[in-house]
Amino acid sequence: MAKSWTVLVDGSPHEIGIKTGLFKCKITVDGAERRVKSRSTVIRLIDEPIVIGSKTLNLTAIGGKVDLAVDGFYLNSAKPYIPLSNIPGWSTAIMLILTIFGWLVAGPVSCSIGVLGGVSVVSNSLAPGQKSRLPVCLAITAATVGLQIAYLFLRLQLMY
């Protein structure tokens, strides 16, 4: 997946792009490429500052959702920029638990359901302001575990 933006900084346009693969990710700034690493081994978590002239832009990726923040707001969603360092520890723990639980319960398909639920928990845990997102994330967790258990029962029914 490749995505690019043209940003005006100090009166001159700059081309910023990102190419994501399964394990690799490259950021392109005005034709110069560099590799970036994810902060998580389970899902793609990237928050890369890009300094151009007098501005600092932030390229953020959570799972498959990629956006560029300029002047404190994302360009695609127009939401305020929140650094990924603000991800609460409980959301990362829930993501890992969902993934491991999925693998132990019913293998790769259930693990994939856990990864998708984990990505949803992490992206929903980043709330602007001081509002707690724990209840929403717990509801996503319950729905994910329910889907994993439903898949387990379906799989067991098809086996016997």
Domain limits, the chain: 2-83, 87-159
Distance between CA atoms of residues 34 and 50, nearest Å: 11
Residue 16: per-residue pLDDT? 93
This prediction has a pTM of: 0.75
Number of alpha carbons in the 13 Å side-chain half-sphere of residue 61: 26
CATH 2.60.120: does it fit domain 2-83? Answer: no
Buried b / exposed e over 57-72, threshold 16 CB at 10 Å, is bbbbbbbeebbbbbee
Ranges under pLDDT 50 in the chain: none
Residue 1: per-residue pLDDT? 60
Residue 111: per-residue pLDDT? 92
Residue type, position 143, single letter: A
